[in-house]
Chain A
Amino acid sequence: MARDLWEEIKLKYTALTASVLAGLMGTSALAQQICEDDVMVLAQPRDGLTLLEDYYDEFEELSGAGFQIDYLNENDRRAKSQADASTVGSFNVYYVDEANLPLFASSEWIVPLEGYYPEDYDYEDFDAGMRSVASYDGKQWFAPIQGGGDLMVYRTDLLEEAGIEPPQTWEDFKTAVAELHDPDNGVYGIALRGQRGSGANVWRWLPLFAAHGGEWVDDSGEFAFNSDAAVKATEEYLELFQYSAPGTQTGSFDESTGAFRSGKVALIIESAPLGAMSKDPSQSQVVDSVAFTPPPTPLPGSGYAHGFAIASRANETEEQKACAGLFVAWATSKEQEARRLAEGQPGELTRTSTYESPAYVETFGENLSAAMAATGDSTEVLFWQDPDWQELGNAWGIKLEELIIGSRTDIQGALDELSELANAM
């Protein structure tokens, strides 16, 4: 038994080393030393980027120049990158996300990757969901560093005990949540997000809105935030909250996934990083009793992604753009991903080839590997891809939180107010 395990470990690391070497040799041979100055990067802290800095010499050898990453937390990074991109343009590469991509792209602060992202780095290998999030106006704008769609994560022990099959449809899901809800024994049917915010409660509400056929703008071009679909989605969301774990009414991803990982929740639909987190013994008490599938139909996954984009103002010449493109490709390459996986950084994996790799299956199991590979097909961009989305999404987040905690009850009224705000904008 121990010998088998040793053989497996040897196989895993031999394969990993081989893939890293092959990748490095391949990219080194193909690359030209096209950079004249160090690449300036503005990003937010990520374990994978810290790891990337260990391979500074590799990029220098590849490109002819080094790089410098300045880190700011999410809100500050957004503010600083907007201010920089709209004024002086001191960064060659910006860290952008799903929320500010429309603003950056429509303001022409970044350029599309096409023509600057070397083909050898295989952009099509990125998860389909993340690629769709990285697209705007029919073009690809950034290479993902992290992101994904949604997974349905469930407790196999609780479902088996209750004789319930993993739900395949939304109706079955709701029934299962109600049946498994047993607060007297410390188990809650589901964990949702109640905290206000376009990336918090609104993010979990979006799949319901889409499943009910909701559209941001109707056929006549008018805002449709107060449509029947929005009302129905909100009613269902509020209805489900009666089964949601305590603390989630004003909580977000951390609170809802925390409740699941501590064994208090039977079923949850959450962003894909929860998959690897719930299989990590240092973060989860339910490692041996979780399983994963894409969300039940017709619920789409709420796609999100963060990644590197090529700045336009700081890269005036084609050579500078190509240099920034090379950095973007190198930083998000298969080789870097293999390193992140080997370092145990599962939250920052973005490529289909990684999800299907033996190393991934070895670490997280076949079930999560299959679910991660499959979830891309159901992942969509569900939020309104517009520079005003942040303001509008956050305004809806406040109203939705008030509805969740019961300080207001008029769903239609809240949505009408939102529609008025949209029209005023």
Chain B
Amino acid sequence: MKLGRSLPVVFLGPALIVLIILAAVPTLYAFNISLQNRTLSAPDADYVWFANYIALFGDARFLNALWVSLKWEVLTVSATMIVGIGLAIAMFEAATPRWRNVLTLLFIIPVLLPRVCAAFVWKFSFHPLYGAVTWPVRAITGETPDILASPLGAMLAVAFVDVWQWGPVFAVIILKLMEALPPQPLEAARIDRCKRWEIHVFITLPMLKLPLISLILVKAIESLRSFDLVYVMTRGGPGIATETLDMYAYSQGFIEAGKISYASGMAVVMLVLTVVMFTMIWKRLNR
């Protein structure tokens, strides 16, 4: 009895210790710094307690970054899921097992490409004078569309690259989940002359609800770490149209002002918002 009670501690203990060291220590350190007025240019710092947090919510650029991050999350997560589910259903319905294997291999390639490389390749592809994406418009109309020079175009272009990387690999995961479903409900639906879309909307996707929720959360977490993509493609521009929270935190911490404490404050706010929002979403979707 005693051994049975202590067994979970034995198994969980080492993992929890590693987790505490890797996650809790940097988090607490960041929180501690966020309560100070530390900058890169000064060796000393004083505690200013919550002054950085108060300043943050009066900072129009921070509020813009919050709004941009929210738009970015909704856009990239929903588009990735739509592309992933759409491609998975298309492969499930139309591809032979051999073609599924070939497509699976192809669909994994984009996510294997380092984000910075992908960002550089696509940035050049969107170039109005030399880009492959803009070439048809140049050839047909003679115009030179500068997609990254408009706030909406830049946001959509960067989101496109994100979805290009993650949509196909999600399609592969969802396809494998669909293949693992028991065939009887699908056969019964076919005997009842259900249409194909009805089978997926009313049977396969509801059966995959839990793994799909997990995928949504994984993508949402991944989307929060979009710094490299944004930095290479737009640097948060034009203006501040694609300046996400992590991009703004980096700018304040390293590029512009060296305000390490202010940037840490942003990181803490981002952490708190993420935990609260993800917990709420998880509970709501998991009912």
Contacts and interface: CB of A to CB of B under 8 A. Distances in A.
Contact of A196 (B42, B127, B144, B239): B239
Contact of B239 (A87, A107, A246, A398): A398
A194 B150 CA distance: 12
A250 B234 CA distance: 8
A402 B255 CA distance: 19
Nearest to B255: A75
B149 interface: yes
B128 A398 contact: no
Contacts of B144: 183, 246-247
Given A195-B235, A407-B151, A407-B238, A250 B146 contact: yes
Given A246-B129, A249-B149, A250-B148, A86 B40 contact: yes
B258 A79 contact: yes
A394 interface: yes
Contacts of B146: 246-247, 249-250
Contacts, number: 86
Given A86-B43, A246-B128, A246-B144, A405 B238 contact: yes
Interface in B33-52: 40-43
Interface string B104-147: 00000000000000000000000111100000000000101010
A87 B251 contact: no
A287 interface: no
Interface string A93-107: 000000000010001
A402 B238 contact: yes
Contacts of A184: 142
Contact of A247 (B43, B128, B154, B257): B128
A122 to B, nearest CB: 33
B240 interface: yes
A184 B143 CA distance: 9
Given A79-B258, A247-B128, A387-B41, A401 B237 contact: yes
A407 B255 contact: no
Nearest to A245: B129
A78 B240 CA distance: 23
Given A249-B146, A405-B149, A196 B40 contact: no
Q: Which of B42, B251, B257 has the most CB of A within 10 A?
A: B257
- Give the interface centre of B150, B151, B241, B258 by most chain A CB atoms within 10 Å: B258
Interface string B228-269: 000000111111110000000001001111100000000000
A394 B238 contact: no
A78 to B, nearest CB: 8
A247 B238 CA distance: 12
A250 B238 contact: yes
A336 B4 CA distance: 73
Interface in B163-201: none
A100 to B, nearest CB: 9
B256 A407 contact: no
A264 B258 contact: no
B239 A394 contact: no
A272 interface: no
Given A246-B128, A246-B146, A250-B148, A79 B239 contact: no
Given A247-B127, A247-B129, A83 B40 contact: yes
A202 to B, nearest CB: 12
A250 B237 contact: yes
A285 interface: no
A390 interface: yes
What is the interface of chain B mostly: helix, strand, loop, or mixed? loop
A82 B239 contact: no
Interface in A164-214: 183-184, 194-197
Interface residues of B, number: 30
Nearest to B145: A246
Contact of A394 (B128, B129, B150, B251): B251
Interface in A247-285: 247, 249-250, 259, 262, 264
Contacts of A235: none
A8 interface: no
A245 B241 CA distance: 22
A387 B240 CA distance: 24
A391 interface: yes
A401 B151 CA distance: 11
Nearest to B146: A246
Contact of B42 (A78, A86, A194): A86
Contacts of A183: 144
B17 to A, nearest CB: 30
A108 to B, nearest CB: 12
Nearest to B142: A184
Nearest to B234: A250
Nearest to B250: A75
Contacts of B235: 195-197
Interface in B208-245: 234-241
A405 B151 CA distance: 9
Contacts of A402: 238-240
B255 A398 contact: no
A246 to B, nearest CB: 4
B149 A250 contact: yes
B125 to A, nearest CB: 12
B258 A398 contact: no
B114 to A, nearest CB: 16
A105 to B, nearest CB: 12
Contacts of A246: 128-129, 144, 146
Given A184-B142, A196-B239, A250-B237, A87 B43 contact: yes
Contact of A195 (B130, B237, B240, B256): B237
Contacts of A75: 254-255
Contacts of B128: 246-247
Contacts of B41: 82, 86, 103, 107, 387
Contacts of A245: 129
Given A86-B43, A247-B127, 14 more contacts: A75-B255, A79-B258, A82-B258, A87-B43, A183-B144, A196-B235, A196-B239, A262-B129, A264-B129, A395-B256, A401-B237, A401-B238, A401-B239, A405-B149
22 contacts: A78-B254, A79-B40, A79-B254, A82-B41, A86-B41, A184-B142, A196-B235, A197-B235, A246-B146, A250-B234, A250-B237, A262-B129, A387-B41, A390-B258, A394-B256, A399-B239, A401-B238, A402-B239, A402-B240, A405-B149, A407-B238, A407-B239
3 A-B pairs with the lowest CB-CB distances in the bound complex, closest first: A246-B128, A402-B239, A246-B144
